[in-house]
Structure 1
Amino acid sequence: MDWKSAKILLASTATAVVASQVAKKIYKYFFSNNSQSEVNYNKDTCDPLTIKNREINDVILFSDDIVRHTIRVSPSKDITLCESRELNCFKLIKYIKSARETLDVCMYLITSNEIAEHIIRLGQKHVLVRIVVDSDMAFTPQSQINRLKEYSFIQVQTNKKSILMHHKFCIIDGPRAMKRKSILKSHAEKLNVHAQYMNNGGKQHCKTKHVKPFVMSGSLNWSTQAMVSNHESVIVTSHPNIVNKFEKEFESLWVENEPALMSTS
């Protein structure tokens, strides 16, 4: 083999190595970094599980400035990945979709058809959904509240207090809500002889798996206008103290009306 052929072979090999490293870095960026909200199905249980149930501390910024992430693939070459509004909308919805047991929403305004659709799908998967909205904004022309109220498995309440309900937060799988769901389920099974028979009849019963509770809060209303045109921010955190404070605030706004819960207090 002459020197010219050897140079061509070395150049081809180096190109292939760099390309494989680039592909690996890009795959890791898109699939590993967001793995806490990916869904995996465990054969031994009936519930979808998160791949990595790890601590969450994140910020989603809707801004004119594109957030850039640079990946170094060799001493002389970098690849820049851009985080656009479209990717941030996808990320926000991905966090919402990660709810496994409960979703408590306290939102001044909900007009996003896409988010409403995902809330409905969560309810259809037996996620317990509660929504508190401002009474003045609940039934404006573009509001999704009337649509959500059509489903019996989604509970909606308008703010009963005289002051403006301007919150924009949601709690995913909060401990208080999880306890509430467990009480409601036990009460329903006591009233349902058929369910008791099914549970004791040898059929596989869904095991309860620990899920990581977290909160999303910020300036963002769940509206297409806000996500597409406004400067907005959303903080996402699983810090227990913060989750607990938001749960207390939600409970202060939510009016309990289930006999099972009233009798156990």
Structure 2
Amino acid sequence: MDWKSARIILTATATVVVASQVAKKIYNYFFHSRKSSQADANNDDSCCELINIKNREINDVILFSDDVVRHTIRIPPNRDITICESRELNCFKLIKYIKSARETLDVCMYLITSSEIAEQIIRLGQKHVLVRIVVDSDMAYTPPSQIKKLKEYSFIEVQTNNKSILMHHKFCIIDGPKAIKRKNILKSYAEKLNVHTQHIKLTKPPTKPKPVRGFVMSGSLNWSTHAMVSNHESVIVTSHSNIVSKFEKEFETLWVENEPALVSSMC
């Protein structure tokens, strides 16, 4: 073999080796960058999904403060990520809890001026979540109150507290057991009144709804943009059954029941 042929073979071999190394680096670059981006996306989800309400075992505190609170947590494989609790993220967290209602939402609030929260309440009603709201009579229609807007929707029940005592509560109950029982009684009563449904043969047996664990949010926070942006406020969120029960009892003392069938069934 002459030198010219050997040189050609060596050049071709070197070219193949270099090309394979380049291809390997390109593969590793895109594979690892994709893997890294997926991990970052998962971490972003961890930051965004600040609350896990799948099992509804909730014991949480939302603090609206000027100080940004940072929590560092470790996730596999031994990577630290930092979750920040700022006013913006806490607003998101509060609304996420409200949006998690599946059956009922009972609100007892001195003041509701946040248009964003009002929109979320309307969307819940449109999804057949039964909504009841008790507000103080003096603040119900004082601008920028959202009560007038909420009352425009027939699926949202609003009552004002007309007692001489100031209604200064700031709590809501999401999927409370007594509220769900009330909803089921109303549904059964409506079906009895609707004669047409008695002649409809169900093609599929009605599915039994999954049990929902209720929880309550209570604290110093009015549902107002000013409070969430400017004030020092706190909200405790818990699914402890005894605490939920006590708040439901308090709501019942303020809510005036108008449905005669429901009143007789609940007695």
- 1:193, distance to aligned residue in structure 2 (A): 1.5
Return closer, same or farther for 1:79/1:27 CA change in 2, 3 Å cut-off.
closer
Q: What TM-score comes out, normalization by structure 1 length?
A: 0.81
Which one is further off, 204-213 or 158-167? Answer: 204-213
Deviation for aligned residue 1:84:
1.3
The question of 1:30 aligning with 2:30 is answered no
1:159 aligns to what?
A: 161
Question: Any stretches of 5+ residues in structure 1 without a counterpart?
Answer: 1-7, 37-51
* Conservation of the 8 A alpha-carbon contact between 2:56 and 2:214: no
Give the structure 2 partner of residue 57 of structure 1. Answer: 59
Change (3 A) 1:225 1:95: same
What is the alpha-carbon distance in structure 2 between the residues aligned to residue 30 and residue 245 of structure 1? 33
Structure 2 Cα separation of the partners of residues 183 and 159 of structure 1? 25
Aligned match of 1:146: 148
8 Å CA contact 1:18, 1:74 repeated in 2: no
Match of residue 250 from structure 2: 249
**Structure with max Cα Rg:** 2
Report how far residue 195 of structure 1 moved: 2.5
**1:24 to partner: Cα distance:** 7.2
Equivalent residue, structure 1, for 2:185 = 183
Q: Provide the residue aligned with 1:127 in structure 2.
A: 129
Q: How far apart, CA to CA, are the structure 2 residues paired with 1:17 and 1:214?
A: 39
Residue 27 (structure 1) shift? 4.6
Distance 1:142 1:183, change over 3 A: same
1:235 CA drift (Å): 0.4
**1:221 has 2:222 as partner:** yes
Q: Distance in 2 between matches of 1:147 and 1:166?
A: 21
Alpha-carbon separation, structure 1, partners of 2:50 and 2:78:
25
1:47 is matched with: none
Contact 1:107–1:168 (CA under 8 A) maintained in structure 2: yes
Q: Which residue of 2 aligns with 1:49?
A: none
Aligned to 2:174: 172
CA distance in 2, matches of 1:61, 1:34: 14
Task: Tell me, in whole angstroms, the C-alpha distance in 1 between the residues paired with 2:77 and 2:192.
Answer: 66
Deviations 1:130-182 (A, max 9, x none): 00000000000100001111111110000032100000000000011011111
Alignment length, in residue pairs? 242
Please list every run of 5 or more consecutive structure 2 residues that lacks an aligned counterpart in the other structure.
Answer: 1-24
Say if 2:56 and 2:215, in contact at 8 Å, map to a contact too. Answer: no
Taking a change above 3 Å as real, the CA distance of residues 72 and 232 of structure 1, as seen in their structure-2 partners, is same
Tell me the SS of whatever aligns to 1:157: strand
8 Å CA contact retained: 1:22, 1:73: no
Q: Give, in whole Å, the separation in 2 of the partners of 1:117 and 1:77.
A: 38
Superposition RMSD on alpha carbons, in Å?
A: 2.9
Aligned partner (choices 73, 83, 86) of residue 84 of structure 1: 86
